[in-house]
Structure 1
Amino acid sequence: MTKMIDAAASRRAFLKTAGMIAGTGLLAGCAARSVTTAALPAAPLPVPPPPVATPLPAAPRSVASAPRGIRPELFERAVAALQRHSSRIRQQDRIAIADFSLPSSRLRFHFVDLQGGATRQMLVSHGIGSDPDHTGMLQRFSNEVNSEATSEGAFLAANYYVGKHQLSQRLIGLDPTNYNALDRAIVIHGAWYSNPDMIAKHGKLGRSQGCFAVGERDLDTLFAMLGEGRMIYATKV
């Protein structure tokens, strides 16, 4: 676990620098949804494509079975996706797995060190279009533009930018079920409605417009563990 977070300080300094550089050109990301407030209209701004990842040989993996806390069938699907998209995933030492079969009140965003087996879990929101009645459970996935839903499949973590949620990270959809991720501005960002106190107050997190929204205090740790060029796999098994 130490190896997964020992770069947090340097990563945080890098991200702050990136934020200052990008501050003059804010880009739109996933708009916020909360438990009690209506969503702000999404600004239809263009999203420039991230740089193409340079294919590298797959990193050796010593973790042959699912780490504790991750269901075996889910882990197997994630590893299969990593192998399927290996030519586009240039960093294969760690992966992130979003288990959307669990409610938003559970720690369902898993980060796995594939070489050492260490794991870390976080809260993560799903899209309003995936849970229109706000039950706290994801009901469906969608890849459609303006669906405000979470998409299923493998994502490539791309470049950072500064948008309406401050420092955020673009995602590239790698599967037929999520290839519209860039056009939909599906990104990683921090949000107050994904903070743990929402569960104490409402029993569930707020909803995004399809983005992977984590608690504001978790964002630096997430960026340090995920970085650019790694894979996120999201599904409901």
Structure 2
Amino acid sequence: MLRPTLSAWLLCAAGLMTSATAGAETTLAQVLHPRVLGDEALADTLTRLAPKASPEVLELAAEALSCADPGAERLAVIDYSLPSSEPRLWVFDLARERLLFEELVSHGRGSGDALATAFSNTPESHQSSLGLFRTMNTYHGRNGYSLRLEGLEPGVNHLAYERAIVMHGADYVSESFIEQTGRLGRSLGCPAVRQAVTYPLIDSLKEEQYLFAYYPDPEWLENSAFLSCEREATQLAMY
């Protein structure tokens, strides 16, 4: 009778060891990146708050923010795949789970006419930039009340500050301009918004919040460090 009892004990011990190993891997994955386990709570929240926005774009924005700063309170998302005549800027209060703004936003004159199709990190290109930005301080300049942006992606938008890519209000961002021309006016690369919402919108995003600018650019989507956290954490958790 001893042999079966010993076998059962060995099987039980092996099971406990397997369970402990799996648990350790799970804990490592959670520490490295909580979304590794498929927790898409943030993406689901953004989609619920902004049903007119692309769920795929919001999911990428959520992934980038979770990688950069999971504790962030505010997030703005721009979908440059949409024409400028449509609302394509959403500002979220993440702490209170509220949609603060759904707005028109311009792109750079070097990026295209009604549709933006070209993006750059190059000074004097007058093109918009993609990727994740962190907001900085506000100031009053030639475009009025403005918000400085820090580009966080090397080679993609890290020269935003040097290029003076800021968020500001503009009279060419309006429904009346769309009625006359079929599109918004264009900036020198800045995400310009309606003058009527300039102050409250900028104040909602100033100082250490985030802006995610999207376009289906294959190279950026493949190489962005903020969109590969999940892949990297999954690979690390396997070792």
1:107 pairs with 2:90: no
* 1:63 positional shift: 4.0
Give the counterpart of 1:151 among 125, 129, 152.
129
Partner residue of 2:60? 77
SS of equivalent residue, structure 1 residue 171: strand
Unaligned runs of 5+ in 1: 1-60
CA RMSD after TM alignment? 2.0
Distance in 1 between the 2:97 and 2:178 partners?
29
Greater RCO, CA 8 A, separation 6+: 1
Distance in 1 between the 2:183 and 2:129 partners?
20
Distance in 2 between the 1:147 and 1:84 partners?
29
Partner residue of 2:74? 94
Partner residue of 1:129? 110
* 1:155 positional shift: 0.7
1:231 pairs with 2:210: yes
After superposition, the C-alpha distances for 1:111-152 in whole angstroms (9 at most, x for unaligned) are: 123244322201100001111xx2x00011111111100000
* 1:213 positional shift: 0.5
Where is the helix percentage greater, Structure 1 or Structure 2?
2
Distance in 1 between the 2:92 and 2:54 partners?
13
* 1:233 positional shift: 0.2
Distance in 1 between the 2:107 and 2:206 partners?
21
TM-score by length of 1: 0.68
Question: Are the counterparts in 2 of residues 63 and 116 from structure 1 also a CA contact under 8 Å?
Answer: no
After superposition, the C-alpha distances for 1:24-74 in whole angstroms (9 at most, x for unaligned) are: xxxxxxxxxxxxxxxxxxxxxxxxxxxxxxxxxxxxx96441231221211
* 1:94 positional shift: 1.9
SS of equivalent residue, structure 2 residue 61: helix
SS of equivalent residue, structure 1 residue 194: coil
SS of equivalent residue, structure 1 residue 83: helix
Question: Are the counterparts in 2 of residues 143 and 179 from structure 1 also a CA contact under 8 Å?
Answer: yes
Distance in 2 between the 1:156 and 1:170 partners?
9
Question: Are the counterparts in 2 of residues 128 and 149 from structure 1 also a CA contact under 8 Å?
Answer: yes
Greater gyration radius: 2
Give the counterpart of 1:171 among 149, 153, 156.
149
Identity over the aligned pairs, expressed in percent? 38
Partner residue of 1:19? none
**After the TM superposition, which parts of structure 1 deviate over 2 Å for at least 4 consecutive aligned residues?**
61-64, 113-118
